[in-house]
Amino acid sequence: MSLTAPLAPRAPLYEEVAERLRQRIFARELEPGSWIDELKLCAELGISRTPMREALKVLASEGLVTMRVRRGAYVTEMSERDVREAYQLLSLLESDAAAVVARTATDPELAELRQLHQDLEESLAAGEAGRERFFAANERFHLRIIEIDGNRWRMQIITDLRRVMKLNRHHSLFKQGRLQESLQEHRDMLEALLARDPDRAARLVRCHFDNGLKATGRAAD
């Protein structure tokens, strides 16, 4: 390696801190609604308060943290309305993306989606041990559809919404039997995509999110 070659840029410290906090939030080490003890976390991470505060600003912009005047930062807690509105937006955005993908995806891209779906099948077949794998495979399947769609604005909004949805205490996939229902819905969605049927693909994605919302017990009356 040449000594004159430019060094790979390192991520700013506050971004590393933001990612550490993000993962703690997703792992429920920092629970929704809980106060974030900045001093304690700074001591644990061996950092000053400046990168901690910058990291919290990043998480606040993503909706994962709520800043309260003179009270500090709290992990965002989703209300019933928050959950319902997030599902409704994801339904609109992802169903439209699925229609685009059904019309325009290349054969190799559709083969990728088939393989991602196979990960869902295998993870569910593993029983309880495969549940976390199912969650991860589910997200990869949905996000790959958005990537193939190629609308960067849609991708940005969906990525932020999906981050915030991880705060939902009543995640639809936690309901008894919902994993099996979700897997069948993914089978149907994949079939519509492979058949290049945009109307059916969009309708099935909307149905998938409607069922997910109902499974949280927070569907609109």
Q: 152: buried, middle or exposed (CB in 10 Å: 19+, 13-18, 0-12)?
A: exposed
Dump pLDDT digits (tens) for 9-58.
Answer: 577 899 999 999 999 998 889 999 999 999 999 999 999 999 999 999 99
Q: Give the model's confidence band at 3: pLDDT under 50 very low, under 70 low, under 90 confident, else very high.
A: very low
What contacts 153, CB < 8 A, 6 or more positions away?
none
- Which of 106-120, 160-174, 196-210 has the lowest average pLDDT? 160-174
The full set of domains in the chain, from first to last, is 13-75 (1.10.10.10), 80-216 (1.20.120.530)
What does pTM read for this prediction? 0.80
Vertex 115: Cα angle to 140 and 204 (nearest 5):
65
Q: What are the pLDDT digits (tens) for 127-185?
A: 777 788 888 899 999 999 999 999 999 999 999 999 888 888 656 666 767 889 999 99
What type of residue sits at position 80? Answer: E
Amino acid 134 reads: F
Question: What's the token pair of residue 120?
Answer: 């869902």
pLDDT at residue 146, rounded to an integer: 97
pLDDT at residue 170, as a whole number = 57
- Which of 57-61, 92-96, 174-178, 215-219 shows the lowest per-residue confidence on average (mean pLDDT)? 215-219
pLDDT score, position 8: 47
5-14: long-range pairs with CB below 8 Å, 24+: 12/51, 12/54, 13/47, 13/51, 14/50, 14/51, 14/52, 14/54, 14/55, 14/58
Average pLDDT over residues 110-130: 89
Residues 6+ apart with CB under 8 A from 60: 66, 67, 73
pLDDT grade for 2, boundaries at 50, 70 and 90: very low
